[in-house]
A and B are shown apart, each in its own frame.
Chain A
Amino acid sequence: MKFIYNLLKITALTSLVVFSLTNCSNDSDGASENQMQQSCLDDSGLTEFELTEEAKDSVRGESIDLIVYDAFLAPEGAFERFKDETGITVNILTSADTGTMVSQAVLTSGDPVGDVMFGIDNTFLCRALNNDVFLPYTPSTWDELSEPLKLDRAGRVTPIDYGDICLNYWEGGFEAPPTSIADLTDSRFSSEFVTQNPETSAPGMGFLLSSIAVFGDDWENFWTELRANDIAIRSGWSEAYYEDFYSGERNIVTSYATSPIAEYIFADPPVESPPTAIIADSCFRSIEFTGILRGTDSPAASALLVDFLTSVYFQELIPETNFVLPANENAELPEVFDLFLEEIPNPVTISPDLIDANRNIWTERWTELVLR
């Protein structure tokens, strides 16, 4: 027994030493910001994948894994249809939130857990691109996709949907509802606003980025004034939305442009029009992408999936399942969206490079200003 015990001790120590030696040369993180000189959206030098006709036939019967974040919902029957069309089986692998999903991809870059990733957004884009997470590929539907969404010039990721993060408020809750985010510091809206921690919530991040884009260097003042105006901060969207907004504690919440439509659809008993409205000013444009993971064993099958995800058929299913808008301009919106979707004239955009470079700095600063 003593012998085994000693053996274990030695094994444990040895493995620790071995791993540290082999990993000493590993610099897998993107913390070093010394890629500032080059935009992550520029050509990476990776060879693009070409999908050939023969390849399309040879992949019948293969099965590939699609990595998604936890809130993703597969439209009913969609992947069955894909299988019918191409003979490829799609397995969905769920990760946690987007940040975790991207971190996992960065960590396993070159040896990915799945074949295709769905749902990396523009705030995390550079982090993935800088670590060569994706394999460049131009889908057959490329020309159908909306131009402003094509952020990656080197084709490593393909835009798949977009949504705007806007402030929502209860219809009829205010005599003179807020019309811009600057209004939030007004005493009229004191103790009315709830938003989320940008570090733990995508809408929270979206709103922070909006404020930075709108106010520029003055963004810190804006937040100081907000804080003085009594705002509530929650760690996640559902707490802010359901705890504070629903209960009437707070009547303005950071959410999505499509939230009122969801409210309308899921209202029970049914209502005539959405009970909530959005502030169209300073909405942050959030774009989601898909891409083939570099190192996959099945690039051809993956490519076909990317084609499918950006095809009109799939794109038309997205709005009602995930409450975002399709990237494919040929896709028709569901009627209820046509009826109630409000136009966002000038959504806020910030370059992924800038976001990547400053994300950590901004969130630290925000934490100091607002939480401490």
Chain B
Amino acid sequence: MISRVLTKSNRANVISLLAVLAFYLIFFFYPIGNILSIGFSLSSFEQALTSVSVRKALWFTIWQATVSTALSVAIGLCISSVFVRSEFRFKRFLESLTFIPFVMPTVVVASAFISVNELLTLDGTPLSLQGSALGIIVAHIFFNTSIVVRTLTSTWPMIDFESEQAAQTLGASKFRIFFQITLPQLKSGLMSAASLAFLFTFTSFGVILILGGLGKATVETEIWRYATQRTEFEAAAVLGIVQLLVVVAMLTINNKFLTTDSRNTNLRSKVQYMHPVSKLRKAANTAFILGFFGLPFVVLLERSLRTPTGHSFLYYKQVLWESSDERFAIFGTRKAIFNSLIWGSLAMGIATIVGLLAAYLLTNRSKSISQFSGVFLLLPLGASGVLLGFGILISLNTGFFNFRSEWWIVPVAQGLLGVGIVARISSNAIKKIDPTIRHAASTLGASSLIIWRKIDYPIIAKAVLAGSAFSFALALGEFGATSFLVRPQRPTIPTTIFSLLGRPGSSTFGQAMALSVILAVITWIVVSLLDRSGSLSTNDF
């Protein structure tokens, strides 16, 4: 549909396609191809596939990712259904609460979980969150539910609610309406979210390592072990290939399920016609969110306030107002905050721009292009962070492409991870635009550029912002490959937390906790700002 409007500027179309491809080729395909090729020999494949531990790791990785994803989707659905169908004052706050885990450094979240474990005295019981698959899955749900909630709260209101009412008059109970009418219409949004969640849980690293209690190995942790601790690159590369193959398979299958949902012609405000959600459900929902997402955060907060002489804001003062000759101020925390914001914004900008261009690839008329794009755009999220980082080191090292130690390679690598997300979320929104609106505009004298600016863009802007917020959070939390690059020493919040935690002393620990809280708050503020028009705003259209 979009291409038809753009045929006037076909050149722009081709240019954007080439730009996205070039970006991916240089920063992803080339490095990852390079490093994976180390494992390209029959003997290493044979070795890997016959190894019992590798097969165990692969199996564990797949099933925990599947379970985590399924549960995240289920819980996300429950939460979203309350958000979408009712209005209450703290809705926005609660939704943003589900998003905080995403940005927290794993080491901090894991430590909060361990404390929660103690708090609820689960240690030693079958429900223990530590050293168990349960703990890993719970942590994954903790991280990934927000992906589902975000996607749903922007796509759910676009369903024709009268089709649900029609079903009601045709004799369908609430249960049947949900499963036969609502859910099928949410399919593509859910599939999008589920595939993202699967990618994150499949390549999950920190959570497995710290919470999994060492008895649990996944493909990613094995890659890490082989590549960084044992310096056995061949074995690591083989595992990386296996990992990538599974991811490609998953994405390809997932693509088949992404149907073009019908466009929403029923654009009236939903407020008046919503099926009221019972007070009990609203209360249960709120309690769950506060408990599940809030508890670890509260634990963190408490620890940041706990000083040897009682609770106070001491560590916050030290972190935010230290001057360099103070005893505990060896870390430029203010600078770290500043750097994190700058780098995060940069990565977000890259992800948004490239992501928007890429979104048009996903909505292209040609099925083969859109399906192919659907797979390759998200690949960086499914590739091993270790191997991508290493790959960049051995690839981007000569001549014009000597990027590996440039300061900007970090935001670029982070941006790369965000592109797929922005593209996915934006393209879902683009597909929902009713073409007759565009036709109307053109009969009123609007050129295709103006149509894009004044019609397409405002409508998808919300989705684009949602995707950007994601990338910002990813970048702030320094996810994935960037941990394995060699970067110019510029302190950021996560690295500073990490440094603080690496030193003994009650004050360094307290400061680390305070910084973690600050990180969460900053993310929350930025994300809320980006979402100002809000995926939960009910005066859409």
Contact: A31 with B230, CB < 8 Å? yes
Give Cα A243 to B115, complex, Å. Answer: 8
The residue from B229, B233, B307 contacting A268, defined by CB atoms under 8 A apart: B307
Q: Are B40 and A24 in contact (CB under 8 A)?
A: yes
Interface residues of A in 309-328 (CB under 8 A from B): 321, 323
Cβ–Cβ contact B231 & A31, under 8 A: yes
Which of these binds chain A: B68-76, B147-155, B188-196, B208-216? B208-216
Give CA–CA (A30, B233) in the complex, Å.
Answer: 9
Would you call B60 an interface residue if the criterion is a C-beta within 8 Å of the partner chain's C-beta atoms? no
Q: With an 8 A cutoff between CB atoms, is B294 at the interface?
A: no
- Any chain B CB within 8 A of the CB of A10? no
Quick check: is B183 within 8 A (CB to CB) of the other chain?
A: no
Q: Residue A65 at the B interface, CB < 8 A? A: yes
Asked if A267 and B506 sit within 8 Å, CB to CB, the answer is yes
Taking a contact as CB atoms under 8 Å apart, the answer to whether B486 and A70 are in contact is no
* A43 interface residue (CB < 8 Å to B): no
B509 within 8 A of A: yes
- Assess whether B229 is in contact with A8, with CB atoms less than 8 Å apart: no
From B284-292, B340-348, B365-373, the one touching the partner chain is: B365-373
Q: Determine the distance from Cα of A237 to Cα of B111 in the docked complex, in whole angstroms.
A: 12
Q: How far is the CA of A371 from the CA of B212 in the complex (A)?
A: 11
- Residues B499-522 near A (CB distance < 8 A): 499, 501-509
Asked if A358 CB lies within 8 Å of chain B CBs, one says: no
Q: A103-B231, A239-B111, A321-B330 are in contact. Are A15 and B30 (CB under 8 A)?
A: yes
Q: Report A97 CB to chain B, min CB distance, Å.
A: 7
Asked if B509 and A246 make an inter-chain contact with CB atoms under 8 angstroms apart, the answer reads yes
- List which A102-124 residues lie within 8 A (CB) of chain B: 102-104, 106-108, 111, 113-114
State the Cβ distance, A337 to closest chain B Cβ, in Å.
Answer: 15
CA distance A4 to B20 in the complex (A): 13
Say which one of A150-158, A176-184, A257-265, A278-286 lies at the interface with B: A257-265
CB contacts (< 8 Å) of B210 on chain A: these are: 235-236, 239
| A65 / chain B contacts, CB cutoff of 8 Å | 405
Q: List 7 A-B contacts (CB under 8 A).
A: A23-B40, A70-B499, A93-B405, A96-B228, A104-B486, A238-B501, A321-B330
Q: Note all chain A residues with C-beta closer than 8 A to B499.
A: 70-71, 73
Chain A residues, CB < 8 A from B215: 371-372
Q: Does A1 make an interface contact (CB < 8 A)?
A: yes
Chain B contacts of A367 at CB under 8 A? 214
**Cβ contacts B103-129/A at 8 Å (1 or 0 each):** 000010011001100100000000000
Query: Which of B38, B227, B309 has the most A CB atoms < 10 Å from its CB?
Result: B38
User: Of the candidates A26, A71, A242, which one forms a contact with B509 in the assembled complex, judged by CB atoms under 8 Å apart?
Assistant: A242
0 or 1 for each of A47-70: is its CB under 8 Å from B? (1 = yes): 000000000000000000101101
Q: Provide the A296-338 mask, 1 if CB < 8 A to any CB of B, else 0.
A: 0000000000000000000000000101000000000000000
User: Chain B residue with minimal CB distance to A276?
Assistant: B504
CB of B504 within 8 A of CB of A100, answer no
Contact of B228 among A22, A100, A111 (CB under 8 A): A100
**Residues in chain B near residue A127, CB distance under 8 A:** 231
Whole-angstrom distance between the Cβ of B507 and the nearest chain A Cβ = 5
What A residues does B404 contact at CB under 8 A?
113
Contact partner, A197, options B37, B214, B230, Cβ 8 Å: B214
A-side contacts of B534, CB under 8 Å: none
Q: Assuming the A-B contacts A15-B30, A76-B324, A266-B504, are A103 and B489 also in contact, with contact meaning beta carbons closer than 8 angstroms in the complex?
A: no
Chain B contacts with A in 24-50, Cβ cutoff 8 A: 25, 29-30, 33-34, 37-38, 40-41
Interface set, chain A 143-163, CB cutoff 8 A to B: none
Question: A residues near B, CB below 8 A?
Answer: 1-2, 4-5, 8, 11-12, 15-16, 19-20, 22-24, 26, 28-31, 65, 67-68, 70-71, 73-74, 76, 91-97, 99-100, 102-104, 106-108, 111, 113-114, 127, 197, 199-200, 233, 235-239, 241-243, 246-247, 255, 259, 262-263, 265-269, 321, 323, 359-360, 363, 367, 371-372
Instruction: Give the residue of A12, A93, A266, A323 whose beta carbon is less than 8 angstroms from that of B506.
Output: A266
Known: A8-B21, A31-B231, A199-B229. A104 touches B507 (CB 8 A): no
**Do A238 and B502 contact each other (CB < 8 Å), given the known contacts A92-B488, A268-B328, A371-B214?**
yes
Q: Which 8 A-B pairs have the closest CB atoms?
A: A266-B505, A92-B489, A19-B37, A20-B40, A100-B228, A238-B501, A31-B232, A262-B504
Partner of B397, one of A94, A108, A246: A108
User: Given the complex, which residues of B lie within 8 Å of A68, measured CB to CB?
Assistant: 489
B41 contacts which chain A residues (CB < 8 A)? 24
List of B residues within 8 angstroms of A102 by Cβ: 231
A114:B111 contact, CB within 8 angstroms: no
B384 within 8 A of A: no
Q: CA A26 – CA B40 in complex, angstroms?
A: 11
Most buried by B among A103, A246, A263, A321: A103
A11 to B22, CA, bound (A): 12
Given contact pairs A16-B33, A28-B233, A243 touches B114 in the complex (Cβ within 8 A) = yes
In the complex, chain A residues whose CB is within 8 Å of the CB of B509: 242, 246
Could you tell me the distance in whole angstroms from the C-beta of B224 to the nearest C-beta in chain A?
A: 8
Minimum CB distance partner of A111 in chain B = B397
13 extra interface residue pairs, beta carbon distance < 8 Å, beyond A93-B405, A363-B229: A12-B29, A16-B33, A26-B38, A29-B234, A30-B232, A70-B502, A76-B324, A106-B231, A197-B214, A200-B229, A233-B214, A241-B504, A263-B505
Measured in the bound complex, the distance between the Cα atoms of B487 and A241 in whole Å is 28
Cβ of B364 within 8 Å of any chain A Cβ, yes or no, is yes
B54 neighbours in A (Cβ, 8 Å): none
